[in-house]
Amino acid sequence: VTNGGKTTLAEKLKKMLPNCDIISQDDFFKPESEVETDERGFKLYDVLDALYMDEMVKSIHNWMKNPASSGVVRQEPQNTHDSLKNTDDVYILIVEGFLLYNYEPLNELWNRRYFLTLPYEECKRRRSTRVYQPADTPGYFDGHVWPMYLKYKNEMEENASNVVYLDGTKSQEELLSCMYSDIIQELKKLRE
């Protein structure tokens, strides 16, 4: 969901995990001139066609081929968990974005899937406090952003499995703790 805290959580996790890097879907938006406009004049940013998804997939594959040379800063994570000691060979890529599970070429890549949810009122409130370039036009949230969120969320629920849903109204600390614990468990499984 837009304004659910995806980027903030990803950045905080990066500081807590060993050899961790982030690829953000926001870095793959097409320029405004290439984004379609609907009959109401809304720029259609909340659809897959507004993104260079093939480039994103290439970036992920390139990282996976050689994560050690991907520019990941080798550092000891903050508050190192026992399971993360001696993890020089562990590399973690966090891919964050809003339409990740709706793009088929990505679905074979995920070890874990997290999906942040927000109720309509909270999402609209948070969205109204953000400044976008280009700026949201009047009615854009109700006319495009929220309907596209619901459409893609329903599509994801029909096609994606093993998604961990997280309540975006919970505190960042609570969400971070939940995700971190889950990732630690996943790392344990992968190392067994």
Three-state DSSP at 114 gives strand
Cα separation, 66 vs 146, in Å, equals 38
The predicted pLDDT at position 68 comes to: 77
pLDDT of 100-121, one tens digit each? 999 999 988 998 999 999 999 9
Point out which residues pair with 96 in neighbouring strands.
24
Q: Are 30 and 154 in contact (CB under 8 A)?
A: no
In a domain, 148, yes or no: yes
**Which residues constitute the domain of residue 145?**
6-66+91-190
CATH number assigned to the domain comprising residue 36 = 3.40.50.300
Average pLDDT along the chain, 192 residues, taken 10 residues at a time: 94 91 95 94 93 95 86 52 61 94 91 94 94 87 95 91 93 95 88 74
Q: Are 109 and 60 in contact (CB under 8 A)?
A: yes
- The closest alpha carbon to 6, from 130, 136, 187, belongs to 130
- Cβ neighbours for 41, distance < 8 A, ≥ 6 positions apart: 137
Count: domains in the chain: 1
The predicted pLDDT at position 74 comes to: 47
In a domain, 134, yes or no: yes
In a domain, 71, yes or no: no
Instruction: Give the DSSP letter of residue 169.
Output: T
The predicted pLDDT at position 187 comes to: 86
26 is a catalytic site residue: yes
What tokens does 31 get? 């320029």
Which of 21, 26, 54, 142 does the annotation list as catalytic?
26
In a domain, 166, yes or no: yes
In a domain, 72, yes or no: no
